[in-house]
Amino acid sequence: MKNLNAEKTVFYIIGGLTVFVIILIVIFSVNEQKQVNGGVNIASYSATDSNRPKAKTDLTFFDLGKMSVKDEKKADFTVENTGSKPLILSKISSSCDCTVGTVDIEGNKSPEFGMHAKGSWTGNIEPGKKAVVSVIYRPSIMPVSGIVTRDVYINSNDPENPKLTFTVKADVE
């Protein structure tokens, strides 16, 4: 009988600790998500909503041409909000440490975001307004030669374009 009670006690202690650890994981996960979004709630919409943001990009690819490993080149892309609600851009990252992205919304420029970016920056493009996304390629950081393509990714709250991708190509000599 004593053995059975001891086993139950151990079972309850292990079960209680397991539940406690799961609760801590949930709390830290929620807190991490708030930090990633800067504690900002980003409005979400469905594709069937008539009043929603709409991201319009005329160009998502640019050929930077030939360049030296020591060079730095940049391509600018325009994102226009053709919807009726604010377009929110967030979670900017890139495909390689040698490539960074920035967003300029009416003179308010984001910091540079690269491959491992975890910034809390968000940008709002009001209806009818535009932003400029700059993709900056610095081959000296990850030296390669030949033709390469690099990407910058940006999340948006446009349900039809939740992840925007801007690509540059270069011939590195």
At residue 42, the pLDDT reads: 83
- Per-residue pLDDT at 19: 72
Per-residue pLDDT reduced to its tens digit, 85-94: 999 999 999 9
Per-residue pLDDT of 18-49, as tens digits, reads 777 677 676 766 555 444 444 557 888 887 88
Map residue 147 onto helix, strand or coil: strand
CATH says 55-172 is which class? mainly beta
56 Cβ contact list (under 8 Å, min separation 6): 79, 80, 81, 82
Torsion of CA 29, 30, 34, 35, to 10 degrees: -30
Examine the pLDDT at 15 and tell me if it is beyond 80.
Answer: no
Q: Is the pLDDT of residue 16 over 80?
A: no
Q: What is the mean pLDDT of residues 9-16?
A: 75
Q: Is the pLDDT of residue 119 over 60?
A: yes
Question: What per-residue confidence (pLDDT) applies to 49?
Answer: 83
Q: What is the dihedral of CA 117, 136, 123, 132, to 10 degrees?
A: -170
**More confident: 157 or 36:** 157
- The residue with greater pLDDT, 81 or 30, is 81
Give the residue-averaged pLDDT of 122-144.
97
Q: Which of 154, 168, 157, 169 is nearest to 110 (CA)?
A: 154
φ and ψ at 66, to 5 degrees?
-80, 145
